[in-house]
Structure 1
Amino acid sequence: MIGAGLGSMAAAARLAVAGHRVTVYESGSTYGGGVRRFERDGFGFDTGPGLLHLPAVYRDLFVKTGKQPLEECVTLTQVDPASRHVFADGTRVDLPNASRAGTVAALDAALGAGAGERWGAFMVRAREAWDRTRRPLLEEPQPEDVSALGREPYPAPKAGLLRRPTTTLARIGDRELRDPRLAALLGSYAWSYGFDPATAPASAAVLPYMEQTFGSWYVAGGIRALADAVYERCLQRRVEFVFGTEVTDVLEERGRAVGLALAGGETVRADHVVAGAPVPTLYAEQTVGWESGDDWPRFQPVRTGRVTLCLALRGAREPGAAHRTVVHASGELPTVTVLRPDDPALRPDGAHESVTVTATVVTRESWAGCAERMLAQAAEAVPELRGRLLWQEVRTPDDTLLETGAAEVPGPALAGARGQWLPAPNRADLAGLYFAGGWSHPGGGLAHAGMSGALVAGLIVEGADFRGSQ
């Protein structure tokens, strides 16, 4: 197995339980892929995802791979409010966790009568898109013929002048929500997954639907604690990890993957090879051989990375502070997500606070000087931020590149747009080679990476008879 990200480890634990001997080769010094932690002076920060959505994915992993359920290995807490939103005009609204009626009421109260109704009507259509795509996009292997997934599942409103297809998420905001603040709210879900709403297909409506329906959860000690728990489960199942070891090639004989070549010149034989490293990197570096561009697997046209500020603050977190605040863009300022977990494990004592501020960026030029603008936005969410700031650590897509092999952060698989937002399938063209993790079906994100591991394990264990998770 190449790489020790969450998708790889999810596959490794399941394969080990099925009786396979699994060895994971990781070029870095630790596991987790993009799920990392930065620590300094008693402060701790998640430098990847900060919240977990669809925890059922990891509950299923722990049920299928051992006696201890997920909740005995980590502490999960629903975040409430799920998010606080600060709009460019100063309007603020707190959205409850997994409450459709509560969200409608909150939007009406903050943005004016009718705002909640429009958002609620949009969520009904988003649910239709979710119902149409949930199983083929999340629970089944990607079919060879993806033409059905290339059709837009998001329905047009059934009445009025809007009864024509909507092609992008931004157009939903303009045509159906009809309030720049609601449009910004919708767009923030796309940005948080690395999508620009101006180019993301209308099917990205499933992202707010997923979060608002199934809730947002915090893992005590930070999301890195989830990676720790999955790693420990792998060790319990006798998965072997070899760190600091780069894989340079996938060995091929008679049109089938039969092992790996390592940087030191050693080769290892295998019945199956699972690659958890970024799929584009594997091909660009010819770890997976190819003759021409036609041999490349399909993967999303990802163009975005993330800049994260790790802020060490003096002073205690004030009562009523929201765990997650989204401060929406104004002028040249970026839309940022501010995470303020009330977690003693991430601060030296009660007289200090650790805060992370994250923004999605499109090009290298866009993150030059981005930290100062992000800090200005974060001040809307953290009282007296600049006066409380002890120090900050700025992490850019260059850090993501060093840790994961790619500067970009892949998003979940999305239907529509003739299939261009679908990632690489789990089964490679080369027999015996499989892809797991955020760059493969069903795409990026904690839950989706866990699903990819389940799909790869199913394909290896059950072979051509595997039809998806039950």
Structure 2
Amino acid sequence: MARIAVIGAGMGAMAAAARLAVAGHRVAVYEQGRTHGGGVGRLAREGFVFDTGPGLLHLPAVYRDLFVKTGKESLEQCLELVQVDPASRHVFPDGTDVSLPNASRAGVVAALDAAVGPGAGERWSDLVNRAREVWDATRRPLLEEPLRAETAGALGGDPYPAVRRRGLFRRAAPATLAAVAERELKDPRLVALLESHALAYGLDPRRAPASATVLPYMEQTFGSWYVRGGLRGLADALYERCLARRVEFFFGAEVVGLVEKDGRAAGVRLADGGVAEADMVVAAVAPGRLAAIAPGVEGRPSAAPVAPAGRFGVFLALSGARPEGTAHRTVVHAAGRGAELDAVFGERGGSGHGPTVTVLRPDDPTTRPGDDHEAVTLTATVAPHGRVDWSAPGVSAGFAERVIRAAEAAVPDLRKRLMWHEVRTPADTRAATGAEGGGVPAPALAGAEGAFLHPGNVTGLPGLYLAGGFAHPGGGLAHAGMSGALVAGLIVDGADWRGSQ
């Protein structure tokens, strides 16, 4: 039985902790904040409840497996998981309005044909079929195995298949997601639909590799899920599972350095001067914190991942009942996509653009004080704090007004019903999670010579492992859970571990 210190109490950290504890190790988690969950936060005020992090779960199998492997109660016995249908509604600048059913390929084809025009659904379906080839080629090396030198090199190539010309020859595969959208979808509404999946994860479609088509594939194939009471409930359930497995948590415990002995990680040093000895250390923190805690140590093999964008949230308390038949999620697409991408991903950044806004309106009585009220969450991908000073006077308020204005396309009576609203910016995310610029890491992607990979789970310092959204296989709830499984497998099964069996 080994003593294992885990730095951070985010989803990847807790996923690793629960698995390591059930394997018989003594696990202690050191979190500088006051609570668990990392970016999976909650805002509660006057009977209204909002998720301040992710609002939907994709690939729930990751957490089903985690709960099966760490206790008697299944995931569904610990919380209520609801499949969202329709999966999403999309409102485009020209007034086109389409709702896409959850996990139904034929339903999506029919909906796009009806809203966009004959043949639109087939073009979208053909692209998703090609994205399945990306999934089949990368699922194991990208999601189910630790990142090693040989796999990192192979993942530098883009597995998105080329499209045949008329005749016998093939075109070269497009280099970016934007190129795929322009060439294979053509219609600007379908282009916006594809690119919005990348934007939601903080990816610039002009730079993201063609393999990013796997993001809509995963959502359309495995569905979109909501946790009754909000996604924070998933973090709470995982925390309770860790406690049941006798994982110790220390909150307000800032780790400032590593203890090293005989060339290995042998514990952590705390800001209060204390030392916690351990046989191994798992760090689930942002790159800047890792560099401060363990100077010169990085995940190996590793790449230099693209700096993540931030997330801007506006939380609305509305009077009046939620109308029957309202979609859980509506994406209101920006009219000036180029200006939006420049503002979010350009070197100078900006907040004066019209954003693409995701509107979340869960049919969940536990999120509101009564059936005559509604809790609505608006989110937009934005430049991180630093490229935009989100704490400067008037900046967040001005952008919140732009977000609310866009959301009126999904909630026409929003202004009349609005009681109050609160805002969360990347500056707030930075304060809550310690992530540089309040950036939210994206999932790892193959292609682009490895620019969209993350540092590996094994580091150059023996005994030190990396987990969480800033490590392989990247950000997002499912990927964070996978990182915990990978680290636990490396520690429990040793260096010869080759992934899930």
TM class by shorter chain equals over 0.9
- Distance of 1:119 and 1:348 partners within structure 2: 41
Q: What amino acid is aligned across from residue 365 of structure 1 in structure 2?
A: V
Contact 1:136-1:142 within 8 A present in 2 as well: yes
- With 34-43 and 331-340 compared, the bigger mean Cα shift is at 331-340
Aligned-partner Cα distance in 1 for 2:119–2:301:
48
Letter paired with 1:65: T
Separation (CA, whole Å) in 2 of partners of 1:318 and 1:366: 37
Does structure 2 retain, via aligned residues, the 8 Å contact 1:2–1:275?
yes
Amino acid aligned to 1:422: L
**Partner deviation per Cα, 1:150-206 (whole Å, 9 max, x = no partner):** 001111112249712201111111111010000000011001111111111111010
1:228 to 233, 236, 254: 236
1:150 matched to 2:156? The reply is yes
Q: What secondary structure sits across from 1:159 in the alignment?
A: coil
Cα distance in structure 1, aligned partners of 2:26 and 2:262: 23
Matched, 1:372 2:401: yes
1:245-260 map, 5 Å? 245-260=253-268
Secondary structure of 1:181's aligned partner? helix
Matched, 1:304 2:327: no
* Equivalent residue, structure 1, for 2:343: none
TM-score (norm 1): 0.97
Q: Report the counterpart of residue 268 of structure 1 in structure 2.
A: 276
Q: Secondary structure of the residue that 1:464 maps to in structure 2? A: coil
Tell me which of 426, 430, 435 is aligned to 2:466: 435
Q: Which amino acid aligns with 1:386?
A: R
**Counterpart for residue 293 of structure 2:** 287
Of the three residues 212, 215, 232, the one matched with 1:204 is: 212
Q: Give the one of 443, 468, 483 matched to 1:412.
A: 443
Query: Does the CA contact (< 8 Å) of 1:127 and 1:209 recur in 2?
Result: yes
Match of 1:444 in 2: 475
Matching of residue 163 in structure 1 with residue 163 in structure 2: no
Distance 1:170 1:186 in 2: 9
Asked if structure 2 preserves the Cα contact closer than 8 Å seen for 1:413 and 1:444, the reply is yes
1:31 to 36, 43, 61: 36
Counterpart amino acid of 2:9?
A
Q: Deviations over 1:413-455 (max 9, x none)?
A: 0000000100110111110001110000110000000000000
CA–CA separation in structure 2 for the residues paired with 1:31 and 1:298: 28
Match of residue 195 from structure 1: 203
Alpha-carbon shift at residue 233 of structure 1 (Å): 0.3
Q: Is the Cα–Cα contact under 8 Å of residues 305 and 397 in structure 1 kept in the other structure?
A: yes
**SS in structure 2 opposite 1:274?**
strand
Q: CA RMSD in A?
A: 1.6
Letter in 2 for 1:129: V
Match of 1:463 in 2: 494
- The Cα of 1:356 is off from its aligned counterpart by 0.4
Q: Equivalents in 1 of 2:220, 2:165: separation in Å?
A: 25
2-structure distance, mates of 1:163, 1:289: 46
Local SS of the residue matching 1:310: strand
Query: Match for 1:425 among 453, 456, 466?
Result: 456
Identify unmatched segments of 5+ residues in structure 1.
Answer: none
Q: CA deviation at 1:252?
A: 1.4
* Counterpart Cα distance in 2 of 1:349 and 1:328: 31
Q: Relative to 1, partners in 2 of residues 1:294 and 1:306: Cα closer, same or farther, differing over 3 Å?
A: closer
Distance in 2, Cα, partners of 1:298 & 1:268: 31
Match of 2:339 in 1: none
SS of the residue corresponding to residue 252 of structure 1 reads strand
Cα displacement (A) at 1:23: 0.3
Q: How big is the shift at 1:282?
A: 1.3
- Matches of 1:141 and 1:238 in 2, distance apart? 27
2:3 aligns to what? none
Partner of 1:237: 245
Amino acid at match of 2:156: G
Deviates more, 1:365-374 or 1:211-220: 365-374
Instruction: Map 1:32-181 to 2 at 5 A.
Output: 32-145=37-150, 146-160=152-166, 163-181=171-189
The answer as to whether partners of 2:148 and 2:300 remain within 8 angstroms in 1 is: no
Q: Determine the C-alpha separation between the residues in 2 that align with 1:162 and 1:43.
A: 55
Q: Secondary structure at the match of 1:365?
A: coil
SS at 1:210 equivalent: helix
Instruction: Structure 2: give runs of 5+ residues left out of the alignment.
Output: 1-5, 337-352
Say which of 314, 333, 356 aligns to 2:377: 356
2-structure distance, mates of 1:182, 1:393: 32
Whether 1:393 aligns to 2:422 is yes
- Give the residue type in structure 2 aligned to 1:433: L
Identity %: 64
CA separation of 1:266 and 1:294: change in aligned 2, threshold 3 A: closer
Is the partner of 2:26 in helix, strand or coil? coil
Cα deviation code 1:112-156 (max 9, x no counterpart): 001011101111111111111011111011112311000011111
* Distance in 1 separating the partners of 2:90 and 2:376: 17
1:333 pairs, out of 354, 370, 374, with 354
- Shift in Å at residue 254 of structure 1? 2.4
The separation in 2 between residues aligned to 1:294 and 1:23, in whole angstroms, is 22
Question: What SS does the corresponding residue of 1:415 show, helix, strand or coil?
Answer: coil
The answer as to whether partners of 1:100 and 1:212 remain within 8 angstroms in 2 is yes
- Structure 1 CA distance, aligned partners of 2:56 and 2:33? 24
Give the number of aligned pairs. 467
CA contact (8 A) 1:162 1:175 kept: no
| Aligned amino acid, residue 78 of structure 2 | C
Aligned to 1:322: 327
Q: 1: CA distance between counterparts of 2:268 and 2:244?
A: 24
Deviates more, 1:297-306 or 1:361-370: 361-370
Aligned residue among 485, 489, 497 for 1:454? 485
Counterpart code for 2:459: A
